Structure 1
Amino acid sequence: MELTGQPVIAATGLFTPSDSITNEELVDSFNRFVALHNERHSDAIAAGEVEALQPSSVEFIEKASGIKARHVMSKAPVLDPEIMSPRWDERSNDELSMMAEIGVKACRQALERAGRDVADVDAVLCAASNMERAYPAMAVEIQQALGIDGFGFDMNVACSSATFGIQTAADYIRAGNAKSVLVVSPEITSGHLNWRDRDSHFIFGDVATAVLVEDAAVAPTEHWNILGTKLKTVFSNNIRNNFGFLNRAVPETEGTADKLFVQEGRKVFKEVVPMVAQMILDEAERLSVDPTSLRRMWLHQANAGMNRLIAHKVLGHEANDDESPTVLDTYGNTSSAGSIIAFHLHSADLAAEDVGLICSFGAGYSAGCVFVQKTA
């Protein structure tokens, strides 16, 4: 079959952990931790040497983020006031790693939905915000576990990793270097979250998604044509995670607060919203797409307020749940997987010729958008 060089999204896959933590459970755990901390440091607090921690509430979390629950790979330790961090048994080098395990599950679902055999896939791109290790690449392990004869590599652009991966895969298709590419995003974001930080402990959840990008000539009849993609990065310290293998050289006395997720939320909101909205509008103009006619926007699931403003700037009116669906309330922020979850769960009902937008944004700053059109 002669390839067209036209990249399409053939199918998507989703793995969701069975355990979920509600805001009520999270607040109860956090407030017990706060009470223990303040009791144990009561003398220092009274002397003004230590600042008393403040309790949280369900109302505060939902107003700040729109999140009501999040799925996690390790629930009990996160809710234990003495631990408040995920815990799992370390696996041997001969066992499939956790990221590869959930990534493979998402990939297999995408392949099944497309009616595709692993022998048809040329490459695996593992695009995620936090890799389980430096090397060997997670993508190569996933490739091996699936039995794909090709190549794979990891890429990290924080919350925009999936859309950056889709453009990379689409470029391989356009150049004729591949006919079928899996972009997999296993996001175990509970591991990089400071569960003891009142302002951010409620944000993240765990999940894995997969996007099968193929040449239109080999794709299933029903697919999504990729009309165009656009990527953008602007350096910022407002979202940061300093964890890495060089941390071993840092004296323990210097502290580790910034070795987990930290952000300046108000600055992120103020700077990212206009940047992303303008990027979408500019790319829509280049593609001769009327942004106000977009049938649906599958936006990054980080903050309900940010999504509302971006959608308004693009569509020209307040978006309803049909125009800009959310999964943030039940999944939390799943980094690069968020917009893909929204697409996976809220795209089947669109009609042929409908045009939509997959968009992600986050640390870096980074932002990526993928304009798609549904076929028959």
Structure 2
Amino acid sequence: MTRVVISGTGLYKPEHVISNAELVASYNAYAALQNAQNADRIAAGEVEALPESSVEFVEKASGIRQRYVMHKAGILDPQRMRPHYEPRPDDQLSLMAEIGVAAARAALAQAGRQPQEVDAVICAASNMQRAYPAMAIEIQQALGAGGYGFDMNVACSSATFALEQAINAVRSGSAQRVLVVSPEITSAHQEWRDRDCHFIFGDVATALLVERDDGQPSSTPRWEVLGTRLATQFSNNIRNNAGFINRCEDTDPGARDKTFRQEGRKVFKEVVPIAAAHIESHLGSLGLKPADVRRYWLHQANEGMNQLVVRKLVGGSAGGDVAPLILDEFANTASAGSIIAFHLHRDDLRSGDVGVVCSFGAGYSVGSVVVRRV
């Protein structure tokens, strides 16, 4: 069987940072405005007053302490509560493609490859800024890559699902090298006016280069792919109803269901056992046990969720050496989270060490990639 490796990763990080204190102050100002405007209805019991948020609530609920965003002022404006982007003409590189290209170039540089050596580009993200043409094809053109490109959306599992497609393409011989790019502008589909989720997301872009191992010495460490596994199970507990049918339904395009929403407690209760069982079963199919794994790079949605997944697998705790956390700095970056963890926390592993990249989220969906340092 063809040996496939991950030879490079890249990360694009926006320049703007929003701290929890800034975010909470903005949300509380918005809540105060709404409560003042609806004072009579609140007094009459027709609507409930919006509760305040707090830094303590945010950090206890998630472990998140800040997030990077593409546009800060609009999010923190109590009269707006969403980013503001100027529309771009069709002949200008789109926003998602722009940050995707930046991450892709970083991955190629790390791998010591040129864009012309790439045979395929997969753009894998939790949302796309347009229906067509595919973001991947725009990224492909901007890079100067060859072959083909296509988009994938499996919410927070998009990157691992795309990794399997990339790995299979290389194994089958249809491509020598495939870029998986995840430009996640989650701030644009986050609901900043909802106390239960206004702190969850951040913006970022990641990229990975998957290629056939040519057996030649490399100046940078490579990671052999031992196996991949994907699974889905339908659930409405994480949902976003924004789509092209909306305009035909004569509904409010700004309605609450047109942005991210979730039943957080249900998601926590149901996804943790699904993810832990998935990883253990996948490892077992490769003749491995959870204790054989040197590091877990898990989806970065919630600190408590990752703690439970790791406890079920190895009896330890997330963070530090076993399952590093990056959500305190980046927040939930959807499909990019586990890739950021892999990008930032792998250089200390030794040849032969085994690791698992695993993402899980809306769908429900879960994807795992077992790797070994060459």
TM range (shorter): over 0.9
Gaps of 5+ in 2: none
1:218, CA displacement in angstroms? 6.7
The superposition leaves residues 127-182 of structure 1 with CA deviations (integer Å, 9 ceiling, x where unpaired) of: 00000101000000000000012100001000000000111100011111111000
Indicate the RMSD between aligned Cα atoms, in angstroms. Answer: 1.3
1:366 partner amino acid: S
2:245 partner SS: helix
Alignment of 1:112-131 (within 5 A): 112-131=109-128
Gaps of 5+ in 1: none
1:297, CA displacement in angstroms? 0.5
Task: Give distance in 1, aligned partners of 2:358 and 2:180.
Answer: 15
Residue among 159, 178, 198 paired with 1:201: 198
Aligned twin of 1:105: 102
1:114 partner amino acid: A
Q: Is the 8 A contact 1:229 1:370 kept in 2?
A: yes
Aligned twin of 2:242: 243
2:159 counterpart of 1:142: no
Task: Give distance in 1, aligned partners of 2:127 and 2:278.
Answer: 25
Residue among 189, 197, 200 paired with 1:192: 189
Q: Is the 8 A contact 1:8 1:219 kept in 2?
A: no
Task: Give distance in 2, aligned partners of 1:132 and 1:293.
Answer: 41
Task: Give distance in 1, aligned partners of 2:307 and 2:59.
Answer: 15
1:72, CA displacement in angstroms? 0.4
Q: Is the 8 A contact 1:10 1:219 kept in 2?
A: no
Task: Give distance in 2, aligned partners of 1:185 and 1:209.
Answer: 5
1:293, CA displacement in angstroms? 2.1
Count of matched residue positions in the alignment of Structure 1 and Structure 2: 372
1:254, CA displacement in angstroms? 9.4
Task: Give distance in 1, aligned partners of 2:253 and 2:68.
Answer: 33
Aligned twin of 1:154: 151
The superposition leaves residues 296-333 of structure 1 with CA deviations (integer Å, 9 ceiling, x where unpaired) of: 10000001111011111111333451111011001000
1:40, CA displacement in angstroms? 1.4
Aligned twin of 2:70: 73
Higher mean C-alpha displacement, 110-119 vs 45-54:
45-54
Task: Give distance in 1, aligned partners of 2:319 and 2:291.
Answer: 13
1:252, CA displacement in angstroms? 3.5
Task: Give distance in 2, aligned partners of 1:253 and 1:102.
Answer: 30
2:334 counterpart of 1:329: no
Q: TM-score of the superposition, structure 2-length normalised?
A: 0.97
Task: Give distance in 1, aligned partners of 2:183 and 2:316.
Answer: 34
Q: TM-score of the superposition, structure 1-length normalised?
A: 0.97
2:85 partner SS: coil
Q: Is the 8 A contact 1:179 1:218 kept in 2?
A: no
Aligned twin of 2:305: 306
2:316 partner amino acid: H
Aligned twin of 2:255: 256
2:11 partner SS: strand
Aligned twin of 2:9: 12
1:134 partner amino acid: A
1:245 partner SS: coil
